[in-house]
C-alpha cells in the first residue's frame, strides 16, 4: 500500500471515529430538557456567529497560494452566514 493510501485510510478511520463519538454525545443529550436545549442553543448561536469571520480569515490566509482552499473557504462563508439567527429564533421561541 502506498504512503498516500495509508494516510488516506488513517484519516478516514480517524474521521469515522470522531463522527461516532459526536453522534454518541448527541444521542445521550437531554433533548427533552428545556434548560439543556436552551444552553445548547446559546452555544450554537455563539459558535455559528464566529464561524463566518473565521472562515473568511482562513480564506484570506490561503489567498493565492492555495486557490482551491481559498475558494472553498469563501463558498463556506456564504453557506454559513445568518445561521446564528436560526438558533437565536429558536431560543426566543422558548421564551
Measured in whole angstroms, the distance separating CA 47 from the mean position of its chain's CA atoms is 8
Asked if 52 and 77 count as a contact pair (C-beta separation under 8 A), the reply is yes
**What is the rounded distance in angstroms from the CA atom of residue 31 to the CA atom of residue 22?**
15
Q: What is the pLDDT along the chain (95 residues), one digit of tens a residue?
A: 567 677 778 878 887 888 888 888 888 889 899 999 999 999 999 999 999 999 999 999 998 888 899 999 999 998 888 889 999 999 999 98
**What is the rounded distance in angstroms from the CA atom of residue 76 to the CA atom of residue 21?**
24
Q: Name the pTM for this structure.
A: 0.66
| Three-class SS state of 24 | helix
Amino acid at each position: 500500500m502506498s504512503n498516500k493510501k495509508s494516510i488516506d485510510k488513517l484519516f478516514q478511520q480517524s474521521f469515522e471515529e470522531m463522527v461516532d463519538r459526536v453522534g454518541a454525545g448527541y444521542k445521550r443529550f437531554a433533548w427533552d430538557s428545556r434548560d439543556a436545549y436552551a444552553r445548547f442553543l446559546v452555544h450554537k448561536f455563539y459558535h455559528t456567529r464566529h464561524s463566518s469571520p473565521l472562515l473568511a480569515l482562513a480564506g484570506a490566509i490561503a489567498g493565492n497560494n492555495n486557490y482551491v482552499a481559498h475558494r472553498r473557504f469563501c463558498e463556506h462563508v456564504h453557506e454559513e452566514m445568518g445561521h446564528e439567527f436560526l438558533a437565536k429564533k429558536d431560543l426566543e421561541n422558548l421564551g
